Structures are given as C-alpha cells and as structure tokens.
Structure 1
Amino acid sequence: MSPRTPVRHVVSLVPSLTDAVAATAPELLAGVTDWCTHPPGLGAERIGGTKNPDTARIAALAPDLVIANEEENRAPDLDALRAAGLTVLVTEVRTLDQAFGELDRVLVRGCGLPRPGWLEEAEAAWADVTPTGPVRRAVVPVWRRPWMVLGRDTFAGDVLARLGVGHLYSGHDERYPRIPLDELTARGADLVVLPDEPYRFTAEDGPEAFPGLPAALVSGRHLTWYGPSLAEAPAVLNAALSSAR
C-alpha cells in the first residue's frame, strides 16, 4: 500500500505488529487478536485468535489495512479477507534484518507513518552486539507435550546466534521439529533456553526435564517478538543467558 493512501483504521493479526503500531500510532488500531497482550489496556476490538480470526467481524470493521504474518496466520483466512475487498499486508520474518525491514514496510510504506524513533533505537541497540567467548550450544524448546524446538530459519534462532548461542537443530529440515526428550537430553548441549511463550516455561516447569544442564529462562517477547521490545532485547536476553552459566 502506498503511503499516499490515507490509512485511518488497521486490524492487526500479529501480536508483534500490534505492539509496533501501538507504540507508533495507537489511534490506528481498530481490531487486534486475543493474543495481542502488549501494550496492556488496548481498546481495539478483539477479533479472535491468530489462527482463527473472525473474518466477518474484521470485514465489518472496514479497515484500510490488515497486517498479518505468513507464519502466524493461515492463508485461507487471509484469502477470505482479500475476497471481502480488504487490503492485506503479509510480512515474512526469519532474521533480525528482515524484522527491521518489515517493520519499516508496515509502518512507513503500509501505514504512511514517519519512521518511528524506537525503530532507530532498536537498530542501534543491535548494531554493536558482538558475541563474547565461545559459541554456546543450546536446545531451545518452544513447546512440551510434545516437545518442539527451534529448527531452521527462525527469527529467534537468528537472535540467539547474534548473542553467541547456536541452537542444535538449526540445520533441521523443519522449522519447529518435534523431538523426543531423550534425544534432546543426549545431544550434548551446553544449556537449555526456555522462553515463556508460546509455551510458558517457568522455573518449576521445564528445567527439571534437563537435569544437570544450565537453564536460561528468557522473555518470549524479547526473543520472538519484532517490535519496540527489540530495543531492549540484547540487554534483557544477555542477562538471562549469563545467569545460566
């Protein structure tokens, strides 16, 4: 969408992008998903989940733009929104550099907004990030029952790599493979990284499955979201990873 087209109402189907729009021009948000938890107190209408949005309700809101993501949202839902005559902007984010580019595309080119200062701050925060010491080898679960881990071509994997943490399934054929726990514990990892989303790992739920292995409990918003949280993510994640030594 050209920035010459006025955008006054936006529906966001992605929590990260909701956070980004809310930090830049909150008045644009007409609808958000049930999973859009940040910032707290969003006044926009809730339109269902990321995987099961109420497409009829979204169409009734008549947004100028719907923002989505190719991984988080389902193609049939996006096709239904297009069939209803809505403009749908779909992002693809597999690396940190892609995240910065897509945020610019959504906010500046899509919504016609000035480039936000927080995006400049986020790029600056990552510009000088250099791993110190040897690369640590990690298992990074994102779900249990069944156990699922980071695989190839993931945004979170690229973020960790920039912080000096290589995950053991980065070369797997799948992006989020299911791996039996006995295999995860036998791979010779240096640590296990446990985010609090999409599965909410805690000190009481997760580390006990990896006895003898240092566990880093990390903020899922800082590991997996691409938005304003990127500005503080290097410091927040480094602190959590350091505590697992």
Structure 2
Amino acid sequence: MRVVSLVPSLTEAVAETLPGALVGVTDWCTHPADLDAVRVGGTKNPKLDRVLSLAPGLVIANEEENRAADLDALRTAGVDVLVTEVRDVPGAFRELERVLRACGAAGRPRWLDEAEEAWSAPPSPERRRTAVVPVWRRPWMVLGRDTFAGDVLARLGVDHVYAGHAERYPRIPLDELRAAAPDVVVLPDEPYRFTAGDGPDAFPGLPCALVSGRHLTWYGPSLAEAPRVLGRALRAARRPPPAP
C-alpha cells in the first residue's frame, strides 16, 4: 500500500508500524526525523498535484487538521481518502487501529497496546487543578470545548477553564485569560511555539507549564510516554513568589 499522510501524528504512527508504506508526508511531519518520503506541503495547503504524482493507494487525513475542499479534490481525482475524527483519548486508539488496518497492518502493533496501557491508569494528581491553555498568541486563542488535548489534560487532573465554551478554539482577550486566575497556564510548543521567553511573560504571577505539543496534541506512539512527560511538566509548574 502506497500511503500519503497529511497528519503529523498519523505519519509517526504509520512509520512506526509500516515503515515502507509512506510515500508522501507534510512539511510538518517531523517524527521520525529520518523519514524518507516526499514532502507534499502543509496540512492546510498540500500540493495536490504532488500528492497525485505519487499515485497513492490511500491518503490519510483528519477532519480538523485538513481542509474538506482538498480532500474532496483528491476523491474527485480517484484517490481513496480516510478521514479521522479524534476528540478524546479512547477515540484516538480506535482511530489509530482503523488507520493502521487500512494501511495494511496485519495486526495491532505493540506500541499501540503500550500506549493504551499507559492511559488505562494515568498518574493520579494530588488534587485537580484549573488551567488556561493558549494555542495561539496573535490573537490569543485557547482550548475550548470537545478537544483531544482537553481530554488529555482532564485525565491528568487538569480542567481547562473554557471546556464549556461554544467554540472549540475561542479567541479570548488576554485580560480575560488573566482574570480567570487559573491554577496553571499550559503553554504547548505547537501550533504556536511558546517558549520560556514568549508566553509566560503575558501571565505575571501565574504558574506556567511549558509542555511538548507532540505529547499534548498528537495521537500516535507519543501517547505511550505522554502521561509521564506531561505529568512531570505540570507538577513542575508552581506559583511564583510575590515580588519584593
């Protein structure tokens, strides 16, 4: 099976299971680092002519990361397209199994069993905490309702403030984010690359956790270590001492 992946986390999952299947991936597919496949553009703007030139037997995509118009164009050109929908951790395991089966996997890979086991009883926090989770800075956008990353955090004892918002990724003014006074501000390094010098500065007096976006938002082999990696980063976030 010749597979083109338009989703970085699915790329990692297929590469780990069927290394020779991937013939095309996006520019954002960074794992594994030594992936030998043609780059076909971004997740939101793939070069469809390049995808078609690879004669894929299957294109794998996601309803959130990829545009419906691009996927429809590929179908019109006669390409089979599998679109995933992932809103929580159990759904990620179901969709991963479906994708790998469609790509030609003979059975369920060991890493998927290990990932599911890691989430069967994630580390139990001492107490639940509230969080604001920005995903973009200009303008400020945060996790809202019904997101995979929100479910990941909830399973680690962190309830994000805008989980009940009408939008999945609402734009919230910075003053309102600060006024929410969460126990922690969770700052992933993707899609916006928050760093120690770009993010925490906007939330003076609030503890900030800089976390791996791959562990917070990807559903693939990284799920096996995500509870441990994210749990460590969240525990390290402490409210700064008051200014003298």
Partner Cα separation in structure 2 for residue 237 and residue 113 of structure 1: 32
- SS of structure 2 residue aligned to 1:11: strand
Partner Cα separation in structure 2 for residue 71 and residue 99 of structure 1: 13
Residue among 212, 224, 236 paired with 1:243: 236
Q: Which ranges in structure 2 are unaligned for 5 or more consecutive residues?
A: 239-244
Residue among 45, 63, 66 paired with 1:70: 63
Tell me, yes or no, if structure 1 residue 124 matches structure 2 residue 117.
yes
- SS of structure 1 residue aligned to 2:131: strand
Residue among 69, 74, 83 paired with 2:76: 83
Indicate the residue corresponding to 1:141 in structure 2: 134
After superposition, give the CA deviation of every residue in 1:15-47 in whole Å (9 maximum; x if it has no partner): 000000011111000000011011102110001
Tell me, yes or no, if structure 1 residue 13 matches structure 2 residue 6.
yes
Residue among 104, 108, 112 paired with 2:97: 104
Which amino acid counterpart does residue 62 of structure 1 have in structure 2? A
Deviation of 1:110 (Å): 4.3
TM-score, normalisation: structure 2: 0.96
Partner Cα separation in structure 1 for residue 190 and residue 4 of structure 2: 23
Whether the 8 Å CA contact 1:89–1:110 is kept in 2: the answer is no
Partner Cα separation in structure 2 for residue 103 and residue 112 of structure 1: 11
- SS of structure 1 residue aligned to 2:30: coil
Q: Percent identity?
A: 72
Indicate the residue corresponding to 2:242 in structure 1: none
Structure 1 stretches (4+) deviating beyond 4 angstroms?
A: none
Q: More deviation in 152-161 or 110-119?
A: 110-119
User: After the TM superposition, which residues 159-178 of structure 1 pair with which residues of structure 2 at under 5 Å, given as runs?
Assistant: 159-178=152-171
- SS of structure 2 residue aligned to 1:31: strand
Indicate the residue corresponding to 1:185 in structure 2: 178
Which amino acid counterpart does residue 108 of structure 2 have in structure 1? R
Deviation of 1:132 (Å): 2.5
Deviation of 1:130 (Å): 5.0
Q: Which ranges in structure 1 are unaligned for 5 or more consecutive residues?
A: 1-7
Q: How many residues align?
A: 238
Indicate the residue corresponding to 1:41 in structure 2: 34
Which amino acid counterpart does residue 72 of structure 1 have in structure 2? E
Tell me, yes or no, if structure 1 residue 58 matches structure 2 residue 48.
no
Whether the 8 Å CA contact 2:123–2:231 is kept in 1: the answer is no
TM-score, normalisation: structure 1: 0.95
Deviation of 1:74 (Å): 0.3
